[in-house]
Amino acid sequence: MLANLDNEVIFKKAFTDKTVFKAFVRDILGIEIEVDKIETEKKFDPEIGYVDFELDIFAESVDKRVCVEIQRVEYDPHPSAPLRTGFDRFLHYFLMLIAEQQRSSKEYGIDRTVYVIVVLTAPYKISEKNGKPILDEVLLLKLNPQTLQGQIRELYGHQLVCLNPNHSNEGTPQQIRDWLDLIYQSIHSPERPVLNIQNEGIKRAIELISFDKLTPEERTLAKNKEAARITLAKTEEYAKRAEKIENAKSGIAKGYNNHIIADITGLTIQEVEALRNAN
């Protein structure tokens, strides 16, 4: 049985292992990387762009030419915010890692190639500007200029990659599919996962997150993280419902009928009527 990669403790245990990290980077980005140290909760001092942000998993290649950051996202923490809030955050991290190099450079050169891989463990809750929902398994953002004829000029290798195993696509390459299957099945079918153990990175990850291989301390920490996440979700749900109720009361005070108030707030007509009678 696999432990859940939706859990921060389990995710970091797997992807801070050098064998897993290097295989993951190779399969997702198509590059070989040698790393000395893999950090978690990486921060920069002083802050970049006046923003104090934290990277889930961060590593720099031994030759200092490549840096890779892996960001795990389980759900949109601000569902009522503008539609692209999550992607705005990923883009910010991506650009700040590029900007960070300028602090030690006397010129405008950017010596290291920056890669950010975002793993989302819940379906997207965003849409394009035209309202069309985004249902892609893999999204790529590359910082290279192109001509008016659409020819790409390879000046930079920087890439932002978003992975979401909840939107399966038969066109996804097998080496990427292996990792998406690992993430998805650890969450949805941990007792009977069907995975490609011929991939050394996948095999090693399975060993690391097998439930019976977790230490008592890891199980306790993972359980505490899950409890904290549930508490946060319930708190946010309570706050959203309280806001709906206040909006409904305001609508009642303004003389709106139950149907209009229900439509505006998302409450049922019965709930609105109960609030009206309670006043």
pLDDT tens, 235-260?
A: 667 778 888 888 888 888 888 888 88
Strands (E), 157-227: 159-163
Token look-up 């930079």 returns: 156
Segment 192-204 mean pLDDT = 94
The answer on pLDDT for 86 being more than 60 is yes
Look at residue 207 and tell me whether its pLDDT is greater than 90: yes
C-alpha 138/C-alpha 134 separation (Å) is 11
> For the stretch 245-267, what's the b/e string if a residue is b when 16 or more beta carbons lie within 10 angstroms of its beta carbon?
eeebbebbeeebebeebbeebeb
Please, are residues 180 and 24 in contact by the beta-carbon 8 Å criterion? no
Provide the pLDDT for residue 226.
Answer: 64
- Give the per-residue pLDDT at 129: 80
Decide: 92 and 53 in contact? Cβ < 8 Å: yes
What is the identity of the amino acid at 246? E
User: Which pLDDT score, from 0 to 100, does residue 78 have?
Assistant: 45
Query: What integer best gives the mean pLDDT of the chain?
Result: 83
Q: Which is more confident, 245 or 105? A: 245
C-beta separation of 166 from 184 below 8 A: yes
Structure token digits, residue 151? 């020819």
How high is the pLDDT of residue 235?
A: 67
pLDDT band at 82 (very low <50, low <70, confident <90, very high): very low
Q: Which of 82-86, 213-217, 242-246 has the lowest mean pLDDT?
A: 82-86
CA distance 120 to 75: 7
Average pLDDT over residues 166-170: 90
- Side-chain half-sphere of 218: how many Cα atoms within 13 Å? 18
Name the pTM for this structure: 0.75
Quick check: 81 pLDDT over 50? no
pLDDT, position 197: 92
- Give the span between the Cα atoms of 68 and 219, in whole angstroms: 28
